[in-house]
Amino acid sequence: MEVTRGRYNPNEFHEAFENNIIITTIEKALDFCRSRSLHPFLFGPACCAMELMQAMNGRYDLARYGFEAVRATPRQTDVMLVAGTITNKMAAVAKRLYDQIPDPKWVIAIGSCAISGGPFADSYCVTQGADKLFPVDVYVPGCPPRPEAITRGLLQLRDMINNPEIAKVKRHG
Amino acid sequence: MDSNNNITSIWDFFQNPIIMNLLIGVVYFAAIAAFITVLVIILMWMDRRVAAFFQERLGPIKYGPQGLLQPVFDAVKMVSKGNITPRNVDKLVYNLAPMLIFMTTLLVYAALPYGKNLTVVNLNVGVLYLIAISSTATIAILMGGWGSNNKYSLIGGMRTVAMIISYEIPFAFSLLGIIMLTGSMNMTDIINAQKNVWFVFLQPLAFVVFMITAMAELNKSPFDLPEAESELVAGFITEYAGMKFGLVYLAEYANMFSMAAIAVTLFFGGWQGPLLPSWLWFLIKTLLMVFFIMWIRWTLPRIRIDKMMKLNWKVLIPLSILNIFLTGIGIKLYQYFTGMGGV
Ligand code: SF4
């Protein structure tokens, strides 16, 4: 019988290794899975929510990317979709709901109201954007943004979770 | 000599009936747990694709072949999600409830006939056991609702109790006709009795009542009142996060499969079928039944709570009693005309 121990060829070995085995860190693998199964928490206090509903339904169908399982309670969700005007009275509720989402969590601000107050920017009773309350990861501009834009916002959030370096970081004071 | 002695003593140790039974139990448990895990992943994918099909969408298709990897991602995410226990909950009851819900599901799987001579325990009171076990989940759901210390959870839990307890009556009654026909509660006997004709043709009324009550037992739309999103946020699972929610989710899909399996066993001849092996027939029939349940679920809107109670007490219970009556008359007439029995 021939002993195979002496015939080890490192190049061959590495080739087989690289082609068949994927090395990754647990963190990266988890991020990969998380970014592909974001359960959205619908927080739609105003008109942008209509566009969001359309993005969920036929033709635009967010479910293709696994963003479909909308849960009504914040405890079981991953990403908060702020779709609409946040009045000062609603702000406290919004903050509380955000705090109830378990980590890791993300926020998407949909529409100019959630970005900066939009048409009501100089109103006495409107919060000037969701990022006054909690950190926002992706901004989707428009009044209202089209369903395509909302889909793209979610896809960008997916890429951002996969590779955090591509995101520009906005500081919160 | 010494080592030989040791080996014999180890062998004797395994020959001990208590140890043997324990080991076999562990193997059974592992097999069922693995079966459920694979099954739920397939069912989750199927549920989403079927829902999308009925709503003129595509559903998850982007990840993996036909989107089959989507439930895997969901499962990994759920396991790695932060596990919140709210400050004011009753910790023992709150943490115990999801485990108990999953345990009752596991217990149901012990008595299902998966194929010819392929059941974990062949109980001679199989049907009774299934009815009893499937209603035990009520206690666990009420525990979840009570322990969460949340008004929506409590209302959801209460609704479940009211619903399942009242729907348990026509559920059990609709199966009585079959037990009268076969004269046995053993699942294998019931399957063997359907060699020539399936019971769905002999007991069509019972099948309709059974299907409606099964939807109610599963807490699925049109009877998803315990977790009606527009009224109760998410019912008794409102406060559950991460893997605790995952367990409830898992149990929900596993229950759907076990209910479909019971329907197939009792009304569609179980694992019987030509050519293909029996376990494959069982899987095919049960998955078709699951598709039927999903079809109902995604087609009908939610029913109001008072109407649901009315439907149960004023329609389903009289119908199921009528079915028992008709079955009795039918059996007697059959015996009279064929000259069997002592009429
Ligand atoms: S951005 Fe425009 S469409 Fe959206 S909520 Fe504000 S006003 Fe309505």
Does A47 sit in the ligand 1 pocket, CB within 6 Å?
A: yes
Q: Structure tokens of B39?
A: 């099954």
B193 is a domain residue: yes
Q: Which chain A residue has its CA at the smallest distance from B72's CA?
A: A33
| Co-location of B110 and B74 in the same domain | no
| Cβ-contact A141, A112 below 8 angstroms | yes
Q: What pLDDT band is residue A169 in, cutting at 50, 70 and 90? A: low
How is residue A64 annotated by DSSP?
Answer: G
Spatial distance between the Cα atoms of A1 and B278, rounded to a whole number of angstroms:
47
CB contact (8 A) between residue B74 and residue A57: no
CB contact (8 A) between residue B241 and residue A102: yes
Domain boundary among B57, B80, B103: B80
Grouping H, G, I as helix, E, B as strand and the rest as coil, residue A126 is strand
| Co-location of B95 and B50 in the same domain | no
Judged by phi (left if over 0) then psi (alpha if -120 to 50, else beta), residue B260 lies in alpha
- Residue in the block written with tokens 């596990």: B83
Chain B residues touching A63 at Cβ < 8 A: 48, 52, 57-60
Give the mean model confidence (pLDDT) for residues A23-35. Answer: 78
Q: Tally C-beta pairs within 8 A across A and B.
A: 88
Alpha helices in chain B (DSSP H): 2-15, 17-54, 70-80, 91-110, 126-147, 151-182, 187-193, 199-202, 204-217, 229-232, 242-267, 278-299, 305-310, 317-338
Domain boundary among B53, B80, B107: B80
Say which residue, B192 or A3, is predicted with more confidence. B192
Nearest CA distance, A106 vs chain B (angstrom): 13
Domain boundary among B30, B52, B80: B80
| Cβ-contact A94, A46 below 8 angstroms | no
User: What is the number of structural domains in chain B?
Assistant: 2
Chain B residues touching A44 at Cβ < 8 A: none
Spatial distance between the Cα atoms of B147 and A145, rounded to a whole number of angstroms:
42
How is residue A25 annotated by DSSP?
Answer: -
B343 is a domain residue: no
Q: Which residues of B make CB contacts under 8 Å with A? A: 48, 52, 55-63, 67, 70, 72-74, 76-77, 80-84, 229, 233-234, 237-242, 245
Q: What pLDDT band is residue B1 in, cutting at 50, 70 and 90? A: very low
CB atoms closer than 10 angstroms to residue A164: 10
| Co-location of B174 and B279 in the same domain | yes
Nearest CA to ligand 1 atom 5: A84
Spatial distance between the Cα atoms of B257 and B5, rounded to a whole number of angstroms:
49
Long-range contact set of residues A88-95: C-beta below 8 Å, sequence gap at least 24: A88/A125, A88/A126, A88/A127, A89/A125, A90/A45, A90/A127, A91/A127, A91/A132, A91/A133, A94/A43, A94/A45, A94/A130, A94/A133, A94/A134, A95/A133, A95/A134
Residue B56's domain comprises: 1-80
| Co-location of B113 and B235 in the same domain | yes
- Which residues sit opposite B151 in a β-bridge? none
Q: What are B286-331's pLDDT values in tens digits?
A: 899 999 998 988 888 888 888 888 888 898 899 989 998 988 898 8
- Residue in the block written with tokens 């078709």: B288
| Co-location of B61 and B98 in the same domain | no
| Co-location of B332 and B200 in the same domain | yes
Chain B residues touching A32 at Cβ < 8 A: 73
Cα of A111 from ligand 1 centre, angstroms: 6
| Co-location of B327 and B279 in the same domain | yes
Which residue among A54, A81, A85, A122 has the greatest number of ligand 1 atoms within 8 angstroms of its CB, and so is best to mutate? A85
| Co-location of B51 and B148 in the same domain | no
Does A129 sit in the ligand 1 pocket, CB within 6 Å?
A: no
Q: Structure tokens of B237?
A: 């699972």
CB atoms closer than 10 angstroms to residue B117: 10
| Co-location of B140 and B119 in the same domain | yes
Please report the atom of ligand 1 found closest to the CA of residue A84.
5
Mean pLDDT lowest among A9-23, B59-73, B85-99, B145-159: A9-23
| Co-location of B232 and B262 in the same domain | yes
| Amino acid occupying residue A110 | I
Mean pLDDT lowest among A9-13, A139-143, B135-139, B145-149: A9-13
Say which residue, B229 or B69, is predicted with more confidence. B69
**Hey, CA dihedral for A70, A73, A76, A81, is it positive or negative?**
positive
pTM above 0.90, yes or no: no
Q: What are A135-146's pLDDT values in tens digits?
A: 888 888 888 898
Q: Structure tokens of B187?
A: 């699942």
Q: What are B232-267's pLDDT values in tens digits?
A: 777 788 888 888 888 888 888 888 888 898 888 888
pLDDT at B241: 82
Nearest CA to ligand 1 atom 2: A143
Cα of A54 from ligand 1 centre, angstroms: 15
| Co-location of B136 and B249 in the same domain | yes
User: Among B143, B123, B139, B113, which Cα is nearest to B268's?
Assistant: B113
- Residue in the block written with tokens 């109610």: B216
Q: CB-CB: which of B52, B72, B84 is closest to A63?
A: B52
| Co-location of B58 and B141 in the same domain | no
Spatial distance between the Cα atoms of B57 and A62, rounded to a whole number of angstroms:
9
The CATH T-level fold of domain A38-172 is Rossmann fold (3.40.50)
User: Among B155, B147, B148, B140, which Cα is nearest to B239's?
Assistant: B148
Cα of B230 from ligand 1 centre, angstroms: 23
